[in-house]
Structures are given as C-alpha cells and as structure tokens.
Structure 1
Amino acid sequence: MSYVQEARENHVKKKVEEALKSKMKAKALKECDHYTAKYAECATGRTFSVVWKCRAQAKELNNCLHDYTNDKVLEEMKKEYALQEESKRPVGV
C-alpha cells in the first residue's frame, strides 16, 4: 500500500471516528436530559456559587454523561460501523 493511499484511509478512518464521537455525544445529551435540566435549574440565577451549590447535580450529570461517552461505548460503535460497512460490500471482493 502506498503512502498516499494509507494516508487517505487513515483520514477516512479519522472522519468516521469523529462522526461516531459526535453521534455518541448527541445520544448522551439526549439520554441525560433530565440531569441537564436539574443542573440548569440549580444554576439559574447563580454565578460563582454554582460551583458548590450545584455540586450534586453536576456530579449526577457527569456520571450520566460518562455512562454514554467512554472508550467502551466508542469501541462498540466502531464495531457496529465496521459490521455495517462489511455487509454493504459485494460478495467476493
């Protein structure tokens, strides 16, 4: 495989990975909407005190987001993507 061809494949892979990360983050925000709303409600009207007054809500939100945005989830999404791409290829190629 030539250097140019390899660079193109890596670029495509990087684009795919960035798209999967974006999809993962969007799903996390959707799934954690309840915690986001609780944190926003607590933070409303506060400036500096939000750090200590809303600590519990921030922790809940971060824990929820972490459940949906971690390396394990990303690897599963990559496997699913690879399987989808493999099923699109014609047989014998």
Structure 2
Amino acid sequence: MNALSRREEETLLKKTKEHALKECDPLVKEFAQCAEGRTFSVAWECRGKYKLVQECMLQYTGPEAMALVRAEYLRLRDEQRQKRAHSDPA
C-alpha cells in the first residue's frame, strides 16, 4: 500500500513544518524583531523579511519537498513491514 492515511499525512506535515521552522529560525527571528512594537506598519516595513521566511519555509514544505518526505516515509514504512513479515513465525 503506497498511500498515506489522513493521520499519517497530518503527522508528516506537522513534523515537516517543525523542521522547517528550526531550519528557518534565524529568518523568523529577524522578522519577529522587525515586527516587534509595530501594528499596521509591519505590512510594509517587514515585507522583505516576511518574504524571506516564506521562501525558506517553502523549501521544506512546498509540493516537491513534501513529495520527497512522503516517498521517504513510505519507503521506511514498507521496510518496517517487510522486517516484521520476515520475523513473524508462520
């Protein structure tokens, strides 16, 4: 079976977003510093920093990246199932 359940898909997306936030942390911090103490002006004052955060996150959570994450997850899941099938007494 090469499909993910909804639960698996949600878990993968959540873990991938967490990983992306860790990888993009310096950019997120820069944006947060820019946004600190601002209200409406965030939209134009911090636009560049926000765009950098979005681009960084997209590297890890975009369609191509998620396809790779799913493929690796499925490969590992199938590997685990095969190991269990070979180790289970018949």
1:77 corresponds in structure 2 to 69
Long gaps (5+) in structure 2: none
CA distance in 1, matches of 2:50, 2:35: 10
Matches within 5 A, 1:1-93: 13-89=5-81, 90-91=85-86
Long gaps (5+) in structure 1: 1-9
User: What is the identity percentage for the equivalent residue pairs of Structure 1 and Structure 2?
Assistant: 37
1:3 corresponds in structure 2 to none
Q: Deviations over 1:11-53 (max 9, x none)?
A: x611111111011100110000000000011111110001101
Q: TM-score, normalised by structure 1?
A: 0.80
| Number of corresponding residues | 81
Task: After TM superposition, give the deviation of residue 79 of structure 1 in Å.
Answer: 1.1
Q: Which runs of 4+ in 1 moved over 6 A?
A: none
